[in-house]
Amino acid sequence: MSHPLSFTRQEFAGAFGDLGTDLPLLVGVVLATGMDAPAAFVAFGLLQIASGVVYRLPMPVQPLKAMAAIAIAGKIAPTLLAAGGLIVGVVMLILANTGALAWLARTVPKPVVRGIQVGLGLQLLTLALTRFLPGHGTAGWLLAAAALTLIALLRRHHTLPAGLVVLALGLVFAAVTWPASLPGPWAFHLPTFPTRWPTSEEFGRAALLLALPQIALSLGNSVLATRQVVTDFFPAREPLTVRRIGTTYGLMNLLAAPLGGLPVCHGSGGIAGHYAFGARTWWQRGHLWRRARAGRPAAGG
């Protein structure tokens, strides 16, 4: 039985659950590499929509973190970043469709996957405490304290979702502190898609500089941990295979480069963020509705 999408306030709030990870990386990479901002954001948005349509759950699309960090630190050329995304896309497709990912999923024990999730959470927390919050001095710390307080008070408030209130707070703060004029990359214009393909030399550099460190991180967080989080939050759903996750991961990166987008992945932290702020799916809501009508307790979600 098919059920329509549910556009509730909780669903809308949950859509922004991954914003704290995505937006700083997107902005940082665009500024550091000189990518066309409209093209990068349009490509990112299209891939987000496609991911939701394909999975029918809040499956996130995130910038590849290792690549983004290297791109920001080294201010690399957009074509080099595109080459790295194409390489990891092809490699992940091969791993997914040769059974290598399935073997890895059977071999790696669950405590290791849990460790990856905890480590990623601590890494993002450290990044926020050392890079983002100090950027606005005392005002940044006060804003973070206010956001945490609102989330704690409104976490289970169905009429006023915490995610929307925190988003509104951030928008007000941004409006007050926004510069009088936008810098070049952020001037309003239609997307400008890439006109040059990476050279063989750039593919070689990208393989060592970008793809190699990223693949190791992606296998743990983007594939194994993501599947585990989906299993935890949606236990009644048909199990999600690592082959499917790896396949969409690979295809997204093969599509992102021609559109002028960043290399992307799925991510366990993204699902947790969307879910915590209220995002579910048409399938999950329909499942809970059917079980309630049948007089049975809802399983999970």
Mention every residue, 6+ apart, whose C-beta is less than 8 A from residue 203. Answer: 83, 86, 87
Residue range 110-122: average pLDDT?
Answer: 74
* 178 pLDDT higher than 90: no
pLDDT at 14 over 50: yes
Mean pLDDT of 188-208: 86
pLDDT tier at 133, thresholds 50, 70, 90: confident
Q: What is the pTM of this model?
A: 0.77
How many residues in the chain? Answer: 301
How many domains is the chain built from? 1
Q: What is the mean pLDDT of residues 105-121?
A: 76
17 within 8 A of 171, measured Cβ to Cβ = no
Say what the pLDDT of residue 192 is: 81
The pLDDT-based confidence of 295 (bands split at 50, 70, 90) is: very low
Give me the pLDDT at residue 251, please: 96
- How confident is the prediction for the chain on average, in pLDDT? 80
Any domain includes 232: yes
For residue 289, the model assigns a pLDDT of 37
In a domain, 25, yes or no: yes
Domain that holds residue 17: 9-129+223-293
Burial classification of residue 53, based on how many CB atoms lie within 10 Å of its CB (0-12 exposed, 13-18 middle, 19 or more buried): exposed
Q: Is the pLDDT higher at 291 or at 5? A: 5
Token duo for residue 102: 């399935």
Give Cα separations from 204 to 66, 80, 195, 208 (angstroms): 17, 9, 20, 7
For residue 178, being part of any structural domain is answered with no
- Kindly indicate the confidence band of residue 92, based on its pLDDT and cuts at 50, 70 and 90: very high
Beta-sheet strands, E only, within the chain: 62-63, 264-265
> 82 in a domain, yes or no?
yes
Within a domain: 238? yes
Lowest mean pLDDT, pick from 178-187, 192-201, 242-251, 282-291: 282-291
Confirm whether 30 is domain-assigned. Answer: yes
186: pLDDT strictly greater than 60? no
Q: Is residue 205 part of a domain?
A: no
Q: Which H or E element spans position 273? A: helix 268-276
Mean pLDDT of 187-192: 74
Q: For residues 113 and 226, what is the distance between their CA atoms, to the nearest angstrom?
A: 9
Between residues 126 and 207, the one the model is more confident about: 207
Answer whether residue 17 is part of any domain.
yes
Q: For position 182, what pLDDT does the model report?
A: 53
Per-residue pLDDT at 294: 47
Is the confidence at residue 67, as pLDDT, over 70? yes
pLDDT higher than 60, residue 9: yes
For residue 91, pLDDT beyond 90: yes
Tens of pLDDT, residue by residue over 251-267, are 999 999 889 999 999 98
